[in-house]
Amino acid sequence: MRREAKRHAALAGADEVSKSGVAGALCHRSPKSRSVLARERAQIARALLADCRLCAHDCGVNRLAGETGLCHAGAEARFFCAQTEVSDELELIPTFAVALCGCDMRCDFCITGATSWNARTGDLVVAALRRQKGGGDALVAPRGDGAASTLLRRGVATTLQPQRLSGLEQLAQQAEQALANGARTIMVLGGEPTIHLPTVLELVSQLPDTAKLIWKTNAHGSAQARELLDGLFDVWLADFKFGNDACAQRLAKTPDYLRVIEENLRWADAHSELIVRHLLMPGHVDCCWRPVAEWLAANLPGVKVNLRSGFWPAWRAARHIELRGTVSTPENERAVALAREFGLNLIP
Amino acid sequence: MKKRPAKAGCQSSGQDQVSELLIMPDGQILVHNLTPAFARLLHELNPTAEQISSRVTRHSSPSHELPN
């Protein structure tokens, strides 16, 4: 099914989804615009923070009350970068990319490292309405960042520095301006945006329904998160980082990796356009790229695959001896040869 | 090898543009978060680099971007 058809089916056919759990709450009787649907789901997503299971770690903490799980994210999202970029897939660029702070994975080679790991840095993204009300049940600002840190509750005046409180509406306006200036898409990424689903949905509700939206994800979200996202993003740009659970555990402290990622990729392919990314890592052609390529060929034949060869030893990569350099030319050539051997649909 | 990538510009609130570079001993340049302005600059430095030329766009430049 083509992208638009898949998205339309998801928007119009929510009555068909399961009546249990989140899906039941998502049911509606008539097709709704993306912005309306996103606004409704944002409220559901925010309530779900009281028992957060947005990612596959399934922590179950109450983020609305200030508890934090493995991602250390509070109830509010922050962003560390919002700009037009041209370094992504050619068919998506220029893209206005909004990068949210915090991640549920702990990849030692993360190219944005501390900036994207730390959910308590960057600028707050809060919708004007909730800003005026002082939050819904509780609006918890991340702790530990000096004068800008505070705890906001109903009726309590904000002590956040005004210049650090970036409105959601401002971000949406920047995105619209970027589209007017020639950007083709709007991309939401991290860190990992899944852990900030309430804010992401609020942002989507502010964007034009015609904008092409890209969900850049580590594909480690939960089924609950998928249901909240269904039909809202035109393209899922999903990482498939590791070809086995041992590498995922050793390099990213992420257990049960393959099961979660493969389930999410299958779902994404069935519900939207999917582009799978694999960052080629030095010394991991046989243990990671080969099984990833083999799985994609067998399970998602024809899916667009972007094999990224520009690994650099960022963040804590030096903890792992094989990750202290870049990918060699012979390794890169072998990886491309494997892709051809498996008949993958490589895109630039 | 240079351990910390050089940052062009600073970030936050979308008011500034940021790209990160890693320059390898063999002259290879790796770029992260390539902005249209920086792509144009790199393209001017090496017009024959196909990987960059394919990313040079006509996206109009806000005034705070690097000048051509």
Q: Mind listing the pLDDT tens digit for each residue in A153-168? A: 333 333 333 333 458 9
Q: Which two tokens stand for residue A34?
A: 């993306």
Average pLDDT over residues A251-262: 98
The whole-number pLDDT of residue A21 equals 57
User: What residue in B sits closest to A85 (Cα-Cα)?
Assistant: B35
- Which residue, A269, A275, A329, A341, is CA-closest to A299? A269
Q: Please count the helices (runs of H) and the strands (runs of E) in chain A.
A: 12, 12
CATH architecture label of A3-346: Alpha-Beta Barrel (3.20)
Average pLDDT over residues A26-45: 85
User: Is A173 an 8 Å CB contact of chain B?
Assistant: no
Write out the residue range of the structural domain in which residue B35 sits.
Answer: 21-58
Contact B14 A82 (CB under 8 A): yes
Interface with B, mutate which of A78, A80, A84 (most B CBs under 10 A): A84
Band (pLDDT 50/70/90 cuts) for residue A16 is very low
Give the one of B11, B20, B34 whose C-beta lies nearest to A86's C-beta: B34
Q: With respect to residue B30, please indicate whether it lies within any of the assigned structural domains.
A: yes
> Which of the residue ranges A68-77, A119-128, A207-216 would you say has the lowest mean pLDDT?
A119-128
The whole-number pLDDT of residue B57 equals 74
d(CA A234, CA A244): 29
Amino acid identity of residue A38, one-letter, is: A
Q: With respect to residue B6, please indicate whether it lies within any of the assigned structural domains.
A: no
Band (pLDDT 50/70/90 cuts) for residue A49 is very high
d(CA B25, CA A340): 30
Residue B60 Cα, gap to closest chain A Cα (Å) = 5
Burial class (CB in 10 A: 0-12, 13-18, 19+), A54: buried
Number of domains in chain B: 1
The whole-number pLDDT of residue A146 equals 32
- Assign 3-state DSSP to chain A and report helix, strand, coil percentages, each to 5: 45, 20, 40
Better pLDDT: A114 or A201: A201
Q: With respect to residue B1, please indicate whether it lies within any of the assigned structural domains.
A: no
Q: With respect to residue B65, please indicate whether it lies within any of the assigned structural domains.
A: no
Contact B39 A86 (CB under 8 A): yes
Q: With respect to residue B9, please indicate whether it lies within any of the assigned structural domains.
A: no
Contact A94 B12 (CB under 8 A): no
Q: With respect to residue B12, please indicate whether it lies within any of the assigned structural domains.
A: no
Contact A171 B14 (CB under 8 A): yes
Asked if A187 and A230 count as a contact pair (C-beta separation under 8 A), the reply is no
How big is the A-B interface in CB pairs under 8 Å?
78
Q: With respect to residue B41, please indicate whether it lies within any of the assigned structural domains.
A: yes
Distance of CA B1 to the CA centre of its chain: 20
